[in-house]
Amino acid sequence: MKKSFVLLISLLLVGCKDTPNQIPSPTPKLPPVQIEKIVINSDKDGDGILDLDDIVEGARGDVAN
């Protein structure tokens, strides 16, 4: 029994040696989305960074943490 199990595993490994080890992705790869930047010249806190850029910078910091 043990020999036949080893033989079976060996045959499976030899038969599958050229098969890639990756499971194909179920969803197709989509092209990146290009979003136009909206610019509003407003800097309410006076730090030299426009408010919308300030919001994006803060959101990126939150995601990083």
Instruction: Quick: pLDDT tens for 2-21.
Output: 888 888 888 887 777 676 66
Report pLDDT digits (tens) over 17-43: 676 666 776 788 889 999 998 888 999
**Rg over CA atoms, the chain:** 28
Q: Are 15 and 26 in contact (CB under 8 A)?
A: no
State pTM to two decimals: 0.43
For 10-28, b/e burial (b = at least 16 CB within 10 A) is eeeeeeeeeeeeeeeeeee
